[in-house]
Amino acid sequence: MRTTARPTLQRLAGGLAALALGLGLAACGSDDSGATDEPSASDSSATSGATDEPTESTSTDDPAVIDEGGEVSPEQFAQMIQDGIEKTKTAHVTFTTSGGSGGFSGDGDVDYAASPPNMQLTMKVTASQELHMLLVDGVMYIESPQAEGTYMKYDLSDPSNPLGANFVDQLDPATAMTQFTQALSSVSSLGEEDVDGQTLAHYVMTIDTSKLKTASQSTEMPAELTTDVWLDDENRMARSSIDLGQGSTYDTTLSDFDKPVDIQAPPDDQVVTQ
């Protein structure tokens, strides 16, 4: 069981960290990145693309933000994303990878009021295997594939947890935002679009993968990643799609914002500590 659980957990790690920010960014390979050698958040403007422009954020209602074909400064866009995160209390999420190898899909609910966010997710890792996961108060519970109704418990504050000593930091939106800002090199606005009955603002981001710290370099990534993001009128991310290269994409959709969710840890008699 242990030999199959660890790779599955590592595949889950990228998806969870991505959901914390509401972007697919961290899915690019953040099993155990933790603290980086990059400058702190206060210096992020120096790492998000060469620019002599002032670092203070401009108003998010700047015409460049919504005009089709307009360029948006990475700092300004990062602030928009941050504003959207702060306005999001809960959401229903669906996510999938397509193309390439090792794809997965899933859905569930996220409560962003907690830090790290509380989650309940069902992830389809193979054609015949589903992974049921709860994240409550920094503790992860994963239903055992061998014993339905029994959950393996992983305290993410424990440095020896299989997802890595710093994984819990990646689930913190503030930490994820710092890494996101450092890696973001350019943003273009494609204007508003009708998506499943919603009017969403479409942006295309370019991400410098050299500024993404990964625990393992075994996964080959292109020098740049292109990410499409659709924001609603409160700058909450409704959709994102990352081109991971080699025909693989990572897609995320968030909906049912701020609807009540009930995310609780399983009863003690159903929990096995790892």
Question: Which of 20-29, 61-70, 139-148, 224-233 has the highest average model confidence (pLDDT)?
Answer: 224-233
Give pLDDT, residue 128.
75
The encoded tokens of residue 172 equal 């913190």
Q: Are strands 151-155 and 271-273 parallel, antiparallel or unpaired?
A: parallel
Question: For the residues 98-102, what does the mean pLDDT come to?
Answer: 67
List CB contacts of 153: < 8 A, sequence separation 6 or more: 139, 140, 141, 271, 272, 273, 274
On whether the CB atoms of residues 270 and 227 are closer than 8 A, the answer is no
Question: For the residues 228-257, what does the mean pLDDT come to?
Answer: 88
pLDDT at residue 237 tops 60: yes
Give pLDDT, residue 6.
46
The encoded tokens of residue 107 equal 């859905």
Q: What is the DSSP letter of 43?
A: G
Top pLDDT among 188 and 125 is at: 188
On whether the CB atoms of residues 180 and 63 are closer than 8 A, the answer is no
For each of the domains in the chain, give its residue range(s) and CATH number, in order of start: 2-30+60-260 (2.50.20.20)
Nearest CA-CA partner of 229 in 170, 171, 186: 186
pLDDT at residue 48 tops 50: no
Give pLDDT, residue 264.
94
pTM of the model: 0.72
On whether the CB atoms of residues 185 and 74 are closer than 8 A, the answer is yes
Give pLDDT, residue 202.
96
pLDDT at residue 251 tops 60: yes
pLDDT at residue 37 tops 60: no
3-state secondary structure string, 141-194? EEECCCCCCCEEEEECCCCCCCCCCCHHHHCCHHHHHHHHHHHEEEEEEEEEEE
pLDDT at residue 118 tops 60: yes
Give pLDDT, residue 42.
35
Angle at 109 between CA 31 and CA 135, to 5 degrees: 45
**Considering the chain, what is the average pLDDT of its residues?**
73
Give pLDDT, residue 250.
83
CA-to-CA distance for 131 and 125, rounded, in angstroms? 7
Top pLDDT among 52 and 114 is at: 114
